[in-house]
Structure 1
Amino acid sequence: MTASSILRALPAAVLVAGAIVGTPAAHADNKRLNESVVVNVFTIQKQHGCPTEIKINPQLRLAAQWHTNDVLNNRALDGDIGSDGSTAQDRANKAGFVGTVSETVAINPALAISGIEILNQWYYRPDYMAIMSNCANTQIGVWSENSLDRSVVVAVYGQPT
Structure 2
Amino acid sequence: MTSKRSVALVVVTSALLGWVVPAPAAHADNRRLNNSVAANVYTIQRQAGCTTDLTVNPQLQLAAQWHTNDVLNNRSLDGDLGSDGSTVAIRAANAGYQGNVAETVAINPALAISGIEILNQWYYRSDYMAIMSNCAFTNIGVWSENSLDRTVVVAVYGEPA
What TM bracket, shorter-length normalisation? 0.7 to 0.9
Aligned equivalent of 2:114: 114
Query: Normalised by the size of structure 1, how large is the TM-score?
Result: 0.88
Tell me the distance in 2 between the aligned counterparts of 1:120 and 1:127.
13
How do 1:68-79 and structure 2 match up within 5 A? 68-79=68-79
Measure the CA separation in 2 of the matches of 1:22 and 1:107: 30
Compute the displacement of 1:18 (Å): 5.6
Pairing 1:54-133 to 2, within 5 Å after superposition? 54-133=54-133
RMSD over equivalenced CA pairs, Å: 1.6
Q: Which residue of structure 1 lines up, in the alignment, with residue 157 of structure 2? A: 157
Question: Which residue does the alignment assign to 2:136?
Answer: 136
Which of structures 1 and 2 has the bigger CA Rg? 1
Gaps of 5+ in 1: 1-13
Letter in 2 for 1:95: A
1:22 CA drift (Å): 2.2
Tell me how far apart the structure 1 counterparts of residues 47 and 122 of structure 2 sit (CA, whole Å): 16
Task: Name 2:34's counterpart in structure 1.
Answer: 34
Instruction: Give the letter for the 2:126 counterpart.
Output: P
Q: 1:127 to 1:18 in 2, by over 3 A?
A: farther
Q: Distance in 2 between matches of 1:69 and 1:94?
A: 16
Name the amino acid aligned to 1:83: S
- Give the aligned length: 148
What are the residue-to-residue correspondences of 1:16-31 with 2, within 5 Å? 21-31=21-31
CA distance in 2, matches of 1:63, 1:23: 30
1:40-87 deviations in Å (ceiling 9; x for gaps) = 000000001101110000000000000000000000000000000000
Cα distance between partner residues in 1 of 2:29 and 2:156: 19
2:19 and 2:110 map into 1 onto residues whose CA distance is 30
Report how far residue 24 of structure 1 moved: 1.1
Identity within the alignment, %: 75
Runs of 4+ residues deviating >2 angstroms? none
Cα distance in structure 2, aligned partners of 1:18 and 1:71: 36
Q: Structure 2: which 5+ residue stretches go unaligned?
A: 1-13
Q: Tell me the secondary structure at the aligned position of residue 22 of structure 1.
A: coil
For the residues of structure 1 that align with 2:28 and 2:66, how far apart are their CA atoms? 17
- Kindly state the Cα deviation for residue 26 of structure 1 after the two structures are TM-superposed: 1.1
Aligned partner letter, 1:140:
I
Shift of 1:23: 1.1
